[in-house]
Structure 1
């Protein structure tokens, strides 16, 4: 999504950056790539790291007698897992095919255990194979199964996702009736966001949208693009993708005395559910990313601890009272897991509690969180922050330890820090400390969930579920001040995809500064939560004055004859960005061209009951040259309006469901309506259409999918031919007549209705569906309409091999919704 010009150039430059090929021969990294090809002596990574062994043995993440099984499992490739999209039209067909066809055929072929459904996932919609991704690509006997996975994943009927990453969503959302607003912080690559969208769409009726919505955020532009690509398969109007540093995610806070507050019904963007899938060291993914073995060090976890804490606290500040937040990592390190959870509970006091989810998903094997752990830095074990100070480890913060206490005087050790003991070895000649007994946390960390690989042949994962009871307190203790300073120093600012002259750090700091100022003035009681969430983001008074993000304040107008200094120009640019001029991202504009909208509604016969006006947006500020029109749900519309009133603080990279596209062909321009319905928007719009619809027999429907374009005289069914002849030139919808009988006009649409977008020309009917979608639909129809003798009138492989050149009398082309050209007359 994006359009032309600066935004696309900004994003594309990131894809030109070269990346290290981590799969090349690890024995000689300096060997040229061409020489590697000639020698052809690739060797796998050495799945061994002495520092890793020493660290996790000392931490006791598994019992000593399990260590060998634990390590053996880590050295084996991760089995491939995937999930059926439960909201897909063909979900039950896919499940039957897996159970009746692939499950049996792979066992007969002697391919290990084949595939099996995950017993703990509801309704057998999650599956795991005994093959790694490498085996699926290389093994000839698995070729058909591999092609099935690729095709269904590309279409969106299934999602390839690690088994343990499916867990926490059900642990925190499975008993929720209605989700209004939900945010995913650090959301890429998108499999978890896709799963959340499935959940909120499951209960929606045909032609309607759920009341909830998902805001998915990631700081990296490349990962945002990947996220957009992944979630595009869901075809949803209930998703907003943003590009922000998660620890500074905007609150879209608006003053209560604003004239439009009563109409909007909210003054701040708060969420019912928050998912913090934070950046981590990633050693839980060793089975699928073996290069981590050679790169692993304890510094990887120590370096991200403060950032993880900042993101989690920001997530809690954006959470409504009574809501839930899930904190998760794909790391086994307690510094990234239990230490962050402990500090959250300490900072929030009684306003947040750790939820016990041990009774949910009983067939899922999980382990409780650790109550005690040590910190290691530069070869030295540290049992408490006092030890860190003793050894001069200034980069180690108190929140990394079970007690979370800062350095205390020795005289206070017995009273203030009873959890840590120092035992001297009597055999030591120098009397140095030889054995360190770590602190033991008094917090209920056993409610956290740890997943280790050898329990259920998965990756490693950590999950903690928080319940927000009340508003967060504002803590101003010395310990917290020290922690905030460390957080600020350790936080790495990522500024990808933006103009080099614009400092996003200043933008974030300005937001925090205004919130702090509001908290002092007592304008809004909810601002106190912002103060604690923005811990570690100190803002100078001069910065607050220069970078005020209050949209009600206008820029100072200078005399046109007085040139501005470089500093003044830079400040003006920062102000413009805060007020919504996000460089590299197209604007979000409500589409309100009454003439075009009226023409669309009349051409397709869209019912008045369908919420049409004020639900359409574009990404082009020039409304006279709009190419695509997107549809947004009611909840997304409310957030967009709030974002406008708050000064466009959200940097939105993707939003809405593509509903209409401008037809630019010669014949398209001459039609009554130049906007055609996109494939993504058709399922939502079809139940509300009364014109430009024709019901086709199974034979004609299959022929359309097979040959892509058919002359009117070649249509088999006379009734279908007559109906098509009455349609206006331009875009139309062809619905499959399932029972091969007469149908109402317009047809009744339900979940089983199968329809495709077509283009009616002067003498032919052409399909506007991508080749892979045509092939998938043909395969599903062949199963459904197979005759009793086991044969069908159309061969699927033959249909897939039909080339567009076989269609006769081609004179021009029509561009499909995915910019794929299909032949038509």
Structure 2
């Protein structure tokens, strides 16, 4: 029951979150007064950036010194400058950085106000390799100022493609203190909208060579379904096989602890529990650090926003630490300035964990990042009253104001036992100390007792608070925690319903307890593999189901002849209908299945000549059990595969909303049905598999490559290189890969992929080649190539450079359409998978 209440709190917070809203909706005509001419006079007014309660609260808390207060609030009342980050893994990251340094830095400087010494745009000094940039223009200025249009279009296009991420500067800080390595398992507990998740993936991929995958992975979780879809959209731009997106309450994130006694399983080959090397715990908060981005918060802000989230934040942080490996790091962060959501949460976590968790001193890391130490003393404000100690809290408010909100985190009896000093006095006494024989008496009559202000004895100064006026940013709070030993045992050891002891600090998982299976109403036309597997629930065969069923097998048959691990799914058919509705444990989410159709896999291998070094076995997944109707095949890394196998073994505790890299997609055109291979390579998956493809590759000169991007469809006879046109015409129908040739000579047949290798997918039809890339991708790639050719060797390609719109609107030289090509050229599908 308690979990439901917390869930509502979290969802309410998500619904109230907002983006940059330095603009108001159009006023209601009925509420406007007519002017002297009788016409309605629109009375638009900017957002009020005053809140007396806000000023009083933060002045008393002392989050900035009194001499800084005026500068602090002055910056809070100005729009937030735009900032963005270059994707370090992008093929064109160096080109983008060069364009910013050598082009936009100079051209935008003229737009800075006269007398302003600030630079128009500049790299953030604390972010590595000049990959993060700060502009002195707000988002509103970028949208409205015509002279900034080229820069704004650059930001929009590159962000949509995934080459850059538009992200608040202070939001980029937490991942930098996690010390993520390429082999780390990382959990982002409250991940939406996904900017930090994208950043974590970049760090994991940064040292990875083309055609290979890192050993680590990221699980990005979010409670709210709509925000989860936004997270999927954001991270899809990364084109990664090392990501799983889940949909859970962060405070109840599944531990996936394998409790079956599989004696024949080799520990080094099979995961027994899902633990993480690094965890980002960016919790739901009141968000008053985003006032510059969301000025509507000025009128909404109240003290109860932070007080009401404190307990949830503690639960999420504790759950994160229980999932962290010993020796691992967790970063706790908020975009709030409130010590009740920040230092108080960190202090309570440290108290609960004893000496098993340390607050790391990171003052020497990122020295160019201006930050302020955490507070060691603060007060609690409740219903207009300042409370210095939990003994100040009236009895009727103790369900809302908790001991953990105070610096010492002690209840009344603890304070009495530690000889906490209090003196009775009249209402005019201020902070006089004495002794009380009865702490409860003080709580019942708080007006007659005055207490000294508490000071925490924990090293909370190791936390960091980023103030907006220090670097012209938003506000943020960050604490770095390291787990040095297992969390202390619960005083009264509890067990889950199946009799299994809980993990360190692990709450009972409602999702596991509620694992129930719908009965099969009809098995007519059920796929064979769905009839072969016994449903396993709570580690025992389910005897309540009339006929055993499952969605997929997880067999990776060991040398010892180990029986395949089975997984549960629901096969349900409405009477009178022949179409199956196949769902996993989680309602509304398509299940995940390993794709093991050897006939289809071998046809793909043979058609594209895929080298045997490319690991296929066990790393292809789909979201449709019906082999004949699988539309998309996804590729997952070895680490994701291991997590999937563990998840199936423990009864699908993870609610997986999205995973994997779309690698193959079924042909859907007239010619696609008759092509030798039923699947084409997806644009997202091409960079990964290209080093292993040995067939159906053509090398185009820069001119022909440009024309393909510009016109989308070209007849074989119209290519500049006649020999290239003949080779294309001689191919059998279907998908092929066109690689941009660096020289005039045809390269070797086997592609040697480097960071600079550029390739696109095309469809070979009866009379022409058609590009199998979205219009936006074509436009961006063409722009990047034109800039590169122009800077490297002054290529003549630059002379025919099209405008932004020309790329999208251009027709082929002979007016050829792309009717021969399969429909739906690599359009993004709904996150739910094939069944949606």
Map of 1:97 onto structure 2: 99
1:580–1:647: 8 Å Cα contact kept in structure 2? no
2:762–2:771: 8 Å Cα contact kept in structure 1? yes
Q: Give the match's secondary structure for 2:683.
A: coil
Residue 472 (str. 1) matches residue 474 (str. 2) = no
Over residues 338-373 of structure 1, what are the superposed CA-to-partner deviations in whole Å (9 max), with x where a residue is unaligned? 011001100001111011111011111001110001
Q: Give the match's secondary structure for 1:785.
A: helix
CA distance in 1, matches of 2:689, 2:795: 38
In the TM superposition, residue 166 of structure 1 has moved relative to its aligned partner by 0.8
After TM superposition, the score normalised by the length of structure 1 is: 0.84
Map 1:746-757 onto structure 2 (within 5 A). 746-757=750-761
Residue 343 (str. 1) matches residue 348 (str. 2) = yes
Gap change, CA 1:807 and 1:247, over 3 Å in 2: farther
CA distance in 2, matches of 1:590, 1:546: 21
Q: Give the match's secondary structure for 1:127.
A: strand
CA distance in 1, matches of 2:571, 2:673: 42
Residue 206 (str. 1) matches residue 210 (str. 2) = yes
1:770–1:816: 8 Å Cα contact kept in structure 2? no
Map of 1:446 onto structure 2: 461
CA distance in 2, matches of 1:724, 1:538: 58
Which of residues 273, 281, 289 in structure 2 aligns to 1:284? 289
Q: Give the match's secondary structure for 1:733.
A: strand
Map of 1:185 onto structure 2: 189
Map of 2:416 onto structure 1: 413
CA distance in 2, matches of 1:534, 1:575: 31
Map of 2:239 onto structure 1: 235
Gap change, CA 1:372 and 1:328, over 3 Å in 2: same
Gap change, CA 1:704 and 1:215, over 3 Å in 2: same
- Structure number having the greater helix percentage: 1
In the TM superposition, residue 43 of structure 1 has moved relative to its aligned partner by 1.7
Map of 1:670 onto structure 2: 674
Aligned Cα root-mean-square deviation (Å) = 3.5
Map of 2:321 onto structure 1: 316
Which of residues 84, 87, 91 in structure 2 aligns to 1:85? 87
Which of residues 109, 122, 140 in structure 1 aligns to 2:146? 140
CA distance in 2, matches of 1:600, 1:61: 61
Over residues 16-61 of structure 1, what are the superposed CA-to-partner deviations in whole Å (9 max), with x where a residue is unaligned? x9999977759988967999x9754322110011111111111000
Over residues 79-130 of structure 1, what are the superposed CA-to-partner deviations in whole Å (9 max), with x where a residue is unaligned? 0000000110000110011011111001134456311111111110000000
Over residues 690-729 of structure 1, what are the superposed CA-to-partner deviations in whole Å (9 max), with x where a residue is unaligned? 0010000001100101110110011111332233234221
Q: Give the match's secondary structure for 1:135.
A: helix
Q: Give the match's secondary structure for 2:662.
A: strand
1:270–1:318: 8 Å Cα contact kept in structure 2? yes
Residue 534 (str. 1) matches residue 523 (str. 2) = no
Gap change, CA 1:342 and 1:573, over 3 Å in 2: same
CA distance in 1, matches of 2:595, 2:423: 67
Which of residues 695, 700, 705 in structure 1 aligns to 2:704? 700
CA distance in 1, matches of 2:602, 2:511: 50
Gap change, CA 1:30 and 1:330, over 3 Å in 2: farther
Residue 121 (str. 1) matches residue 154 (str. 2) = no
CA distance in 1, matches of 2:32, 2:609: 60
Gap change, CA 1:177 and 1:197, over 3 Å in 2: closer
Map of 1:758 onto structure 2: 762
Map of 1:331 onto structure 2: 336
Gap change, CA 1:53 and 1:573, over 3 Å in 2: farther
Map 1:43-58 onto structure 2 (within 5 A). 43-58=45-60
Map of 2:619 onto structure 1: 615
Residue 362 (str. 1) matches residue 367 (str. 2) = yes
In the TM superposition, residue 476 of structure 1 has moved relative to its aligned partner by 3.1
CA distance in 1, matches of 2:240, 2:511: 39
Gap change, CA 1:416 and 1:732, over 3 Å in 2: farther
Over residues 791-812 of structure 1, what are the superposed CA-to-partner deviations in whole Å (9 max), with x where a residue is unaligned? 7242231842543477524354
Map of 2:403 onto structure 1: 398
Q: Give the match's secondary structure for 1:815.
A: coil
Map of 1:631 onto structure 2: 635
After TM superposition, the score normalised by the length of structure 2 is: 0.83
CA distance in 1, matches of 2:75, 2:17: 29
CA distance in 2, matches of 1:49, 1:731: 61
Gap change, CA 1:416 and 1:247, over 3 Å in 2: farther
1:382–1:388: 8 Å Cα contact kept in structure 2? yes
Residue 385 (str. 1) matches residue 382 (str. 2) = no
CA distance in 2, matches of 1:471, 1:546: 35
Map 1:394-793 onto structure 2 (within 5 A). 394-408=399-413, 413=416, 415-417=418-420, 432=447, 437-476=452-491, 514=496, 517-519=499-501, 527-529=502-504, 532-534=505-507, 551-557=538-544, 580-786=584-790, 788=794, 792-793=798-799
CA distance in 2, matches of 1:670, 1:442: 74
CA distance in 2, matches of 1:516, 1:474: 19
Gap change, CA 1:230 and 1:543, over 3 Å in 2: closer
In the TM superposition, residue 257 of structure 1 has moved relative to its aligned partner by 1.0
Over residues 172-195 of structure 1, what are the superposed CA-to-partner deviations in whole Å (9 max), with x where a residue is unaligned? 21xx54433110001000000000
2:729–2:767: 8 Å Cα contact kept in structure 1? no
CA distance in 2, matches of 1:201, 1:33: 56
In the TM superposition, residue 77 of structure 1 has moved relative to its aligned partner by 0.5
Map of 2:78 onto structure 1: 76
Which of residues 808, 818, 823 in structure 1 aligns to 2:826? 818
CA distance in 1, matches of 2:207, 2:255: 29
Map of 1:303 onto structure 2: 308
Number of aligned residues:
744
Q: Give the match's secondary structure for 1:438.
A: coil
Over residues 483-513 of structure 1, what are the superposed CA-to-partner deviations in whole Å (9 max), with x where a residue is unaligned? xxxxxxxxxxxxxxxxxxxxxxxxxxxxx96
Which of residues 150, 153, 160 in structure 1 aligns to 2:156? 150
Long gaps (5+) in structure 1: 1-13, 482-511, 520-526, 561-571
Map of 1:252 onto structure 2: 256
2:32–2:41: 8 Å Cα contact kept in structure 1? no
Gap change, CA 1:753 and 1:178, over 3 Å in 2: closer
In the TM superposition, residue 549 of structure 1 has moved relative to its aligned partner by 10
CA distance in 2, matches of 1:256, 1:741: 60
Moved more, 372-381 or 804-813: 804-813
In the TM superposition, residue 421 of structure 1 has moved relative to its aligned partner by 8.2
Q: Give the match's secondary structure for 2:738.
A: strand
Q: Give the match's secondary structure for 1:679.
A: coil
CA distance in 1, matches of 2:33, 2:176: 48
Moved more, 265-274 or 26-35: 26-35
Map of 1:803 onto structure 2: 810
CA distance in 1, matches of 2:137, 2:479: 30
CA distance in 2, matches of 1:162, 1:276: 17
